[in-house]
Structure 1
């Protein structure tokens, strides 16, 4: 039988382990994007881009994005809010757990009788609670269902697309995200159209690849905000601040595009998108910020899928980076 001192020691050890696991920072690669998949691709944000010769495998799903999933958008990497499940999940599960625990120690939900009578009372109470949950969930689902659900909708005009630069709206949300979270019947899948990409566009994509790496290495947020969407610039700033907090600096040089090809290009609303697979060489090291001592060397070659966006009369800017399998 454990003594109270032994139990306290074990409890303290478990709490210390939990705290260590909680504060431990994940190990990520260097380079802009932190070796993850972040950003927005319009209505295709949560759809895998087409495979190419440069990136024949599947690109990793977007892990962080200001775009909210909407009609016709799958979301393998993130889970959309589910108001019905949230309503009937934690609160009622807590009540059920409390009731079962009470039965084990001799009381029901409402401190009922002991023995068999208490057990039967518990079953009755559980049945009543389950019935109430079912009725409540049905009620709220009917209230949340769009008024025009199931009815055909008119084609969306081209002037109702998302902000081509992904500019967050009120509350830090990308334009169009509020409608997705509200689940209103007004939000519809945007109409898409083909977009032609020419040699000059590919030259711009290659230039942005080098400019992003160079500005990231110099921690030049002014340049990054000019060649990336506000969303992507925000992610870059987070990464650079994390590097500074760890006392390191990420130096990237000699970036050279080795191979690249177009995965897909499309337009929606006022925006045009191009997703390009790129394999490039680079020198990528992490240095101690005070001594310039090399802390870590990164791989000398990378293959990533970058998405660019432009509005009418505006230049291309980087809107997403995805890693390849």
Structure 2
């Protein structure tokens, strides 16, 4: 009898802790389901496996590609490993760490979490880490807002406008095998326009429209991501896409094809909603800021198209 009462008390305690920890963890994460799904996908011609130079907008090195067809037969060409333990970022690492700790406990005879006391300790640790993540996110957001006023755009004092939002860069013909390529103001306007149009077509699940804005490779990834959303009975709604800062990382020519890789920091409302009820499942109506490196390709005489998206 005493054991059952104690057990009920522990269950109540765990329920209370989870009710506090889980909403907090959800509050510090966005849907991260915009076009590209927060992955690095696509190709950059002969520079696919070379990291683009860092810029003031994206000082960190761009991540290597999770999905690309440049290397036929590569395991990364298939769908990335799914499931909670394969999620990028802090939560995936925590889950893997907890699982590893549990397995070690089993090997040494302590049970999966070393008994009820061990389980309570794990929940307490999870709550502490969630609080730390929340505070770090708040600090980072404050710093970005403070820093944005001084360095709103890399190319000029105006916080709006395509020509001033990108650093004026010409002749970025890097590499011995590349011809010099000059990026004109009209090209920057095209990059900013494509940013908004691709997010809108993605949000509307308009595959036909995406085919006019991106390469067949990128469309194949976006179409597959849309199908995965349909299987989950959700639709990703992106709105209010606004370029905040951008600059050119590199531009080059391969044969009759031009390439331009640009770093862009932009804001958007990114949320997943239930297809039937419209209820928000992930994300919120609050804008989030994202920094990504996009590569555009332009065959001679044609328009720019999205060729790759890389996370930073």
TM-score range, shorter chain: 0.5 to 0.7
Task: Work out the CA distance in 1 between the residues paired with 2:220 and 2:269.
Answer: 24
Could you say which residue in structure 2 is the equivalent of 1:41?
A: 44
| Matches of 1:191 and 1:311, distance apart in 2 | 18
User: For the pair shown, which has the larger CA radius of gyration, 1 or 2?
Assistant: 1
Contact 1:309 1:318 in 2 (8 A): yes
Render the CA deviation track for 1:33-87: whole Å, top value 9, x for unaligned.
1100000000000100000000000000112111128xxxxx9x969xxxxxxxx
Does the CA contact (< 8 Å) of 1:43 and 1:190 recur in 2?
Answer: no
- Residue from 62, 65, 70 that aligns with 1:67: 70
State yes or no: 1:304 paired with 2:282: no
Query: Per the alignment, in what secondary structure is the counterpart of residue 293 of structure 2?
Result: strand
**Offset, 1:289:** 0.5
Correspondence for 2:304 = 316
Tell me how far apart the structure 1 counterparts of residues 66 and 52 of structure 2 sit (CA, whole Å). 14
CA distance in 2, matches of 1:190, 1:61: 22
Shift of 1:190: 9.8
Using the alignment, how far apart are the partners of 1:254 and 1:290 within structure 2?
Answer: 23
Aligned to 2:270: 284
Deviation at 1:249, TM superposition (A): 0.4
Q: CA separation in 1, counterparts of 2:240 and 2:61?
A: 27
Which residue pairs with 1:238 in the alignment? 224
Aligned residue in 2 for 1:55: 58
RMSD: 2.3
297-306 or 258-267, which deviates more: 297-306
SS in 2 for 1:192: coil
Write out per-residue CA displacement over residues 220-273 of structure 1, whole angstroms, 9 at most, x where no aligned residue. 001101000000000000000000000000000000000000000000111100
The runs of at least 4 consecutive aligned structure 1 residues that moved more than 6 Å come to none
The TM-score, its normalising length taken from structure 1, stands at 0.54
* Contact 2:241–2:269 (8 Å) recurs in 1: yes
1:166-181 equivalence runs, <5 A: none
1:28–1:35 CA contact under 8 A, matched in 2? no
Report what 2:34 is aligned to: 31
Say if 1:190 and 1:63 are closer, same or farther in 2 by CA, change over 3 A.
Answer: farther
Structure-to-structure mapping, 1:143-292, within 5 angstroms: 191-292=177-278
- Distance in 2, Cα, partners of 1:247 & 1:28: 15
Aligned pair count?
183
Deviations 1:175-211 (A, max 9, x none): xxxxxxxxxxxxxx99321211011100000000000
**With structure 2 as the length reference, what TM-score do the two structures score?**
0.56
Aligned to 2:7: none
SS of equivalent to 2:261: strand
CA distance in 2, matches of 1:203, 1:56: 23
In the alignment, the residues of structure 2 paired with residue 303 and residue 272 of structure 1 have an alpha-carbon distance, to the nearest angstrom, of: 23
C-alpha distance 47-28 of structure 1, shift in aligned 2 (>3 A):
farther
- Counterpart residue number, 1:293: 279
